[in-house]
Amino acid sequence: MPARTVALVTLGCTRNEVDSEELAGRLEAEGWTLVDDAEAADVAVVNTCGFVESAKKDSVDALLEASQLKDDASARTQAVVAVGCLAERYGNQLAESLPEADAVLGFDSYADMSAHLDSILHGGRPASHVPRDRRTLLPLTPASRQDAAGDQLVAVPGHANAPDLPAGVAPASGPRVLRRRLDGRPWAPLKIASGCDRRCAFCAIPAFRGAFLSRRPADVLAEARWLGEQGVREIFLVSENSTSYGKDLGDLRLLETMLPELAAVEGVDRVRVSYLQPAEMRPSLLEAMASTPGVVPYFDLSFQHAAGPLLRRMRRFGGTESFLTLLEQVRAAAPLAGVRSNVIVGFPGETEDDVDELEEFLTEARLDVVGVFGYSDEDGTEAESYDGKLPSDVVADRVNRLTDLVEQLTAQRAEERVGERVEVLVELVEDGEAEGRAAHQGPDVDGVVRLPAGGLQVGDLVPAVVTGSEGVDLLAELAR
């Protein structure tokens, strides 16, 4: 049989990247040849994002772009398949509005993806996914969820383990990890949990990602060891809510006990934790993140706003005073810690006083990076039915106002780091300049450190001294 080729096109967050690499591992185990470009593949599988309107548009555009290759005589592409969050969330509705896609498949199809793609290449058209609230697929009580997931009664992307692998796929002496790396970066995301039990009024993620489910520590550690063998020097722990890790395994402090084990994995120099809920931060987790050798002091805290009454309307906790107290505790434990967050402006009922309070909080908080998002209705969320909706031009004005402020504040925060000694993980070397990240900088969105290449290579971890800043980016020289 001629080689069957497949390309995976990934949009959205790092959690989606893990899911794509799991799909890649499944398909390679079934004899598919993985290629980088859709035009060189028999099938292009587009792993979509369904989080906010702009991400949905990007996903549809990617599907349309891939579909055009089917009419290109110079391309090999015969079929385009939509998977991921947009496919899971909208399923047959997406299929009806986008006939250019040969299939729209949900998470439940991942284990049989090879068979689905084979069928498509032979003229079949699998039934389009029918969306459902995935929170209903696992027991309401967290302690009862592991048995259902262990019996594989519900598909959880990124949680596949050894029983899913055909015999002989991985060496008997090594971890049987169902994953295939799709890039050569010196860092990699590692999923520790999926889903979310929180009910934020603006967020649709729990409905299509499901209830919160932790991966077992043995599986997380096995995958970490495998990543270390693949040349990964920084592991980026991802989930929808890392502060809840372990609650369904009977130990809410499980992350604290697992961090030293992850940091001790051979080949891995840095472990980074992401997606922390401020209301769930506990002193033991803060201390573990700030003091465990190999775990970088990096706090990705999802504040969303600072005005207490508006946060309650969002179905969230906290406010200016408690958030600033938390930041004081973080900096007392790790003075050079990196802190990033996201905020939403224009939420229904937001007043000018609320915006003023948010501005005052951000000014005092001294965050390294802040993402500013304008509120928009999301299908099926509680806030979709709220009164007090603000005109789109008011929301846009507030986004611009907060964005301007944040750009000034984060640039000032970067300037404060001039003179600091940092360790830089080199990710790019080009035209005599190296680019990488310090411990306080997360991947992709938190700025970079630039320094003279001087013989550096991708994957090097080098000491440097910050000499200047440009926006959130830092300029540095190798430490002597």
Binding-site entries for [4Fe-4S] cluster: 13, 49, 85, 196, 200, 203
The token pair that represents 156 in the structure block: 């959880």
CB 92 within 8 A of CB 101: no
What is the C-alpha separation between 390 and 348, in angstroms, rounded? 6
**Would you call 170 helix, strand, or coil by DSSP?**
coil
Closest CA to 352 of 300, 424, 402: 402
What is the C-alpha separation between 390 and 392, in angstroms, rounded? 6
Q: Which residue positions form the known binding site?
A: 13, 49, 85, 196, 200, 203
Tokens 């009164």 sit on residue:
387
What is the C-alpha separation between 426 and 448, in angstroms, rounded? 10
The letter for the amino acid at 377 is: D
What is the C-alpha separation between 63 and 99, in angstroms, rounded? 10
Closest CA to 202 of 387, 392, 55, 384: 384
Q: Is the dihedral of CA 164, 168, 174, 179 positive or negative?
A: negative
Rg over CA atoms, the chain: 23
